[in-house]
Amino acid sequence: MSRPHGIPLPSARRSSDSDEKESACADDKQGQPRPREGVRQLTGAERVRTLVESNASVSLTLPDAFDQAEWWTGVPAARTVTPDGDVILLVPGESAAARAAAHAQDDDLTAVIEITDVAPVSVPHRIRARARLTGWLTPVRGDDRAVCAALLAERHPVGELLGLAESQDPPYTGRPAWMMLRLEVGEITLDDLWGAEQVDPDELAGAEPDPLAAHETELLQHLASAHADRVADLCGLLGSREAAGLTAVPLALDRLGLRVRFTAGSGRSSFDARFDFPEPVADVCGLRRAMRALFAAAAR
């Protein structure tokens, strides 16, 4: 068969609203602001793995489905990445994906995962990332089920996992409430705040999700609502007065730094500034220390 190809403180760097006009992340004519080169960032594989295991919107499709009514198979309840770089999906047992995978030969069912990440705060150009993973879908069978269920439970402690105890191997006594599917990834494309790129699927296995990903939504919303004045003070680290009079909203957060979107009052022009932490943070406690250092530098 043919397989698919498918800051050190106190400095800051900004991306101009003129950068990268055309992008899958654009939601109007201006397009998503992009960073300039030289900014510390997660690797493409780390960003993809973070997206896969985040709460971002995800869909699963079967491009070669015989029944085109089942081409779009819905939304997996949970997903994770195995040590080998495969993506494990938890889907309803009655879903089109579960039925198709159960009846297809191994490695014979092409599938596509599409992930869309939207900023949890109100800003222009709210779509922060889109990722597309193409590969081959098979059911998780035998001894692998316990291992994969443990991985899913670690990343997504959801009640649906309780249904996995039902039999998924023949002889079938009824379709299980939930089924785990394995996507062997053959191609990855990523278009996000950092730019558009192809990511090597082999790099996904060794990549780690960002440790702040599970807390990012709550942290950004807290910064925007309770510390808006201190976020605005970060303008002072830009090295110019051109940001005076702009609104400042925290847009994205990872272990390496904070990205803030500055927007003119008309809302027609915006740019991003990335404020790198003195050193990578490993948890929320480390983040608090890094943010205190960042705000202290801005207050000088």
Q: Give pLDDT < 70 ranges for the chain.
A: 1-39, 65-74, 106-107, 157-175, 239-244, 265-268
CA angle 224, 33, 128 (to 5 degrees): 60
| Predicted pLDDT at 286 | 96
The 10s digit of each residue's pLDDT in 218-247 is 999 999 999 999 999 998 888 655 556 788
| Predicted pLDDT at 5 | 33
* Single pTM value for the model: 0.83
Q: Is the dihedral of CA 103, 98, 204, 114 positive or negative?
A: positive
Please count the CA atoms within 13 angstroms of the CA of 222 that sit on its side-chain side: 8
Of residues 36, 47, 46, the one with CA closest to residue 12: 36
